Amino acid sequence: MKTVTIKDVAARAGVSPKTVSRVINGEDHVRAEIREAVQRVVAELDYRPNAFARSLSSSRSYLLGLFIDDPVSGYAADVQHGALIRCRERSYHLVVEPVDLSRPGWQDHVRDSIASLRLDGAIIAPPICDAPELIDLFRQSAVPHVLMAPSVEPEDSGAVRMDDHGAAREMTDYLICLGHRHIAFVQGPENHSASIRREEGFRAAMATAAIAVDERFVLRGDFSFRSGLELGEALLRGPDRPSAIFACNDDMALGLLITAIKRDIQVPDDLSIAGFDDAASSRAAWPQITTIRQPKAEMAAAAVDILVDPSFRRTIPHPDAHLMLPHALVVRGSTGRCGTDADRV
């Protein structure tokens, strides 16, 4: 099968190869009707630009980096998938770089990655998106970067996020509407800004409903399945237990569910459990876990779109580089009406 070349695209579209190159690279000064014609031919011929040739003919590598603390987590898998698909659509490539801020010499590792890869841009995932020393390395190297779910709105970079506070408040309101009053909250890591915003949303909903938060039922986890198991033992070992538990992510919610099953506590008849993220674990469990769908893949794709936009590279701060994506409450079998009369309205 003959490989489609840029000259084939140019001939079919009736333009020069240089014009095709400008369209593919997202450059300005191409009329809208010509851009659309070239993009249509690219799709018809299934043209795939040669990344090596493109990098040789310009000062760009067409390579984006995803910097993340735990590249094997369920969260990371969704983020990588969203970024990879969009990079493929935009004729870019993606490299994943793990960053362990607790490891001595991590700064040298990041500097070496930036220098050797010649990155055209970087996506920085939570919680390391809130590490000032890490962000400074990208600023010093003049590498455009987009932060995912940062704690504050950055002035000199892009940002994509969801409303963690509002989503957690919505989930808590839902549990309250089911009649629950003794609601536990399992926190995430204290250095994770999204976890902090989720707890704030939980507390705001409880306060609005005039329900006191029982601080015995607010426990610190680390987003892992194991911490869900351990905290489930702490919350469910005695008769004085919550009627519902809202976990800061789905892996911990799954651990809570396993602990409840182990203790012969019926979910949702005796205990409601809710999570956050809509991870694969929430759908694989039985009963399936009620959760907040966080648009992780969509956020990563949006970060790619920002980085490859030529106007973003020229104008920082850019007015369209800060995005808030919608979430959704996903009701499944792990939550139900409270069965304790004392907890009903």
Q: Residues 271, 195: one domain?
A: yes
Q: Residues 211, 279: one domain?
A: yes
Task: Tell whether the model's pLDDT for residue 51 goes beyond 70.
Answer: no
- Which pLDDT score is estimated for 320? 66
Domain that holds residue 40: 6-48
Render the burial of 118-139: b for 16+ CB within 10 Å, e for the rest. Answer: ebbbbbbbbbbbbbeebbebbe
- Which pLDDT score is estimated for 16? 84
Q: Is residue 126 part of a domain?
A: yes
> What is the average per-residue pLDDT within 288-303?
96
Q: Is residue 191 part of a domain?
A: yes
Q: Residues 223, 242: one domain?
A: yes
Q: Is residue 157 part of a domain?
A: yes
Q: Residues 105, 85: one domain?
A: yes
pLDDT per residue as tens digits for the range 296-342 = 999 999 999 999 987 766 555 555 688 999 999 999 999 999 975 44
Q: Is residue 53 part of a domain?
A: no
Q: Residues 35, 88: one domain?
A: no
Q: Where are the alpha helices (DSSP H) in the chain?
A: 6-13, 17-24, 32-45, 51-56, 74-89, 106-117, 132-140, 164-177, 193-208, 225-236, 250-262, 280-284, 296-308, 310-314
Q: Residues 30, 117: one domain?
A: no
Sheet containing 272-274: order of strands: 218-220, 183-187, 244-247, 272-274
Q: Is residue 192 part of a domain?
A: yes
d(CA 305, CA 144): 12
Task: Tell whether the model's pLDDT for residue 6 goes beyond 80.
Answer: no
Domain CATH for 43: 1.10.260.40
d(CA 67, CA 81): 14
Q: Residues 191, 286: one domain?
A: yes
Q: Residues 179, 211: one domain?
A: yes
Asked if 276 and 245 touch (Cβ cutoff 8 Å), the reply is: no
Domain count, the chain: 3
Q: Is residue 58 part of a domain?
A: no
Give me the long-range contacts of 287-290 (CB less than 8 A, separation at least 24).
Answer: 287/332, 287/333, 287/334, 288/332, 288/333, 288/334, 289/250, 289/253, 289/254, 289/257, 289/332, 289/334, 290/171, 290/174, 290/329, 290/330, 290/331, 290/332, 290/333, 290/334, 290/335
- Which pLDDT score is estimated for 117? 87
Q: Residues 272, 317: one domain?
A: no
Domain CATH for 141: 3.40.50.2300
Q: Is residue 13 part of a domain?
A: yes
Range picked from 23-27, 45-49, 124-128 for highest mean pLDDT:
124-128
Compute the Cα dihedral for 285, 75, 184, 219 and give only its sign.
Answer: positive
- Comparing 70 with 2, which gets the higher pLDDT? 70
Q: Residues 246, 314: one domain?
A: no
Q: Residues 196, 337: one domain?
A: yes
Q: Is residue 56 part of a domain?
A: no
Q: What is the DSSP letter of 202?
A: H
d(CA 238, CA 252): 20
**What value does the mean pLDDT of the chain take?**
88
Q: Residues 140, 194: one domain?
A: no
